[in-house]
């Protein structure tokens, strides 16, 4: 076991357990993201991975939970598990509503993801499972940060639809170092840490784009010139965010990397203040 059997999450970050059930994630408009099918289908495709993925993350960390002696990290593991359970539950409701709208391709892919992760959990080395979780948590965390740092990405979305995504982004940011710190405690092997990210980059991320395109084709919108122009304008507006995304992604390959090197406590605290004042995850 690595001597660094400790949490490196900042002391002022608490991994809160919020048992939230969101209004508006059922009976959504077909294009709930500001009537934009391209952005809607992109987030729908990403959401499809969450219910099964979050459960896999929990199991991979639980494999080593009893080996962790640091009280702070043990408490953070409990918070991580509770948050991920709620994420899985809420995105399951979100996804089932999407499937009712006729997107059976997404539903079939979710079943495939379930089989793949179940197989990895059953047959894969436990440290590899944890390394896969750490890689996917990094992808999720840097994506969450881009969403939180760039309101333009949700500017045309009604609050009741964006609440789920902002809440999920904040909680992914809160617990972004938990699986990483567990991995460092029980292994710390650099190559085992980075190789799953390479694999996920060439499989997981392109699969979201493919699923997005399949949904657009199903709706006969893949050649919608107006929507393509809108997204070109959006892409131009968020170019700085894409530069930041690339920077944050590449940081993972440093040997001395830690998730909290990418410190986004400012946007986490802004959201928490809003949530405490309004009881809403977005306004």
Calpha distance 142→144 (Å, rounded): 5
Which whole number is the average pLDDT over 76-104? 96
Q: Give Cα separations from 72 to 6, 10, 69, 220, 260 (angstroms).
A: 8, 11, 9, 52, 16
**Band (166; pLDDT cuts 50, 70, 90):** very high
- Per-residue pLDDT tens digits for 51-79: 999 999 999 999 999 999 999 999 999 99
pLDDT value for 281: 83
Question: pLDDT at residue 226 above 80?
Answer: no
Sign for the CA dihedral angle at 39, 273, 17, 260 comes to: positive
Calpha distance 234→228 (Å, rounded): 10
pLDDT value for 240: 84
Residue with tokens 């948590």: 137
The residues, any chain, with a CB within 8 Å of residue 206's CB and separated by 6 or more, are: none
Which whole number is the average pLDDT over 94-112? 93
pLDDT value for 4: 56
CA-nearest of 22, 156, 157 to 94 is 22
Helices (H), the chain: 37-48, 50-62, 71-100, 104-123, 126-149, 159-174, 178-186, 190-218, 225-237, 239-251, 265-278
Question: pLDDT at residue 2 above 90?
Answer: no
The residues, any chain, with a CB within 8 Å of residue 179's CB and separated by 6 or more, are: 57, 60, 61, 80, 130, 133, 134, 137
Structure tokens at 124: 């894969």
Which whole number is the average pLDDT over 116-121? 95
Which whole number is the average pLDDT over 259-280? 94
pLDDT value for 228: 57
Structure tokens at 171: 């909680």
**Three-state SS string across 220-231, please?**
CCCCCHHHHHHH
């Amino acid at each position: 076991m690595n001597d660094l059997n400790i949490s490196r999450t900042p002391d002022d970050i608490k991994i809160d357990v919020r048992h939230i059930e969101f209004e508006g994630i059922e009976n959504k408009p077909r294009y709930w993201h500001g009537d934009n099918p391209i952005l809607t289908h992109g987030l729908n495709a990403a959401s499809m991975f969450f219910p099964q993925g979050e459960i896999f993350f929990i199991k991979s960390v639980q494999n080593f939970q009893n080996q962790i002696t640091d009280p702070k990290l043990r408490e953070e593991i409990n918070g991580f598990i509770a948050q991920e359970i709620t994420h899985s539950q809420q995105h399951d409701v979100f996804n089932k509503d999407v499937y009712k709208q006729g997107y059976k391709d997404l539903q079939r892919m979710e079943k495939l993801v379930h089989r793949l992760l179940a197989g990895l959990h059953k047959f894969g080395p436990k440290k590899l499972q944890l390394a896969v979780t750490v890689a996917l948590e990094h992808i999720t965390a840097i994506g969450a940060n881009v969403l939180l740092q760039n309101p333009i990405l949700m500017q045309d979305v009604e609050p009741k639809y964006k609440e789920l995504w902002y809440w999920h982004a904040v909680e992914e940011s809160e617990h972004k170092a938990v699986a990483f710190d567990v991995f460092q405690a029980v292994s710390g092997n650099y190559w085992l840490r980075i190789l799953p990210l390479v694999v996920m980059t060439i499989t997981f991320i392109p699969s979201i784009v493919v699923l997005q395109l399949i949904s657009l084709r199903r709706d006969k919108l893949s050649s919608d010139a107006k929507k393509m122009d809108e997204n070109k304008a959006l892409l131009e507006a968020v170019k700085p965010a894409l530069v930041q995304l690339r920077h944050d992604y590449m940081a993972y390959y440093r040997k001395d990397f830690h998730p909290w090197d990418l410190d986004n406590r400012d946007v986490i605290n802004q959201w928490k203040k809003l949530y405490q004042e309004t009881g809403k995850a977005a306004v």
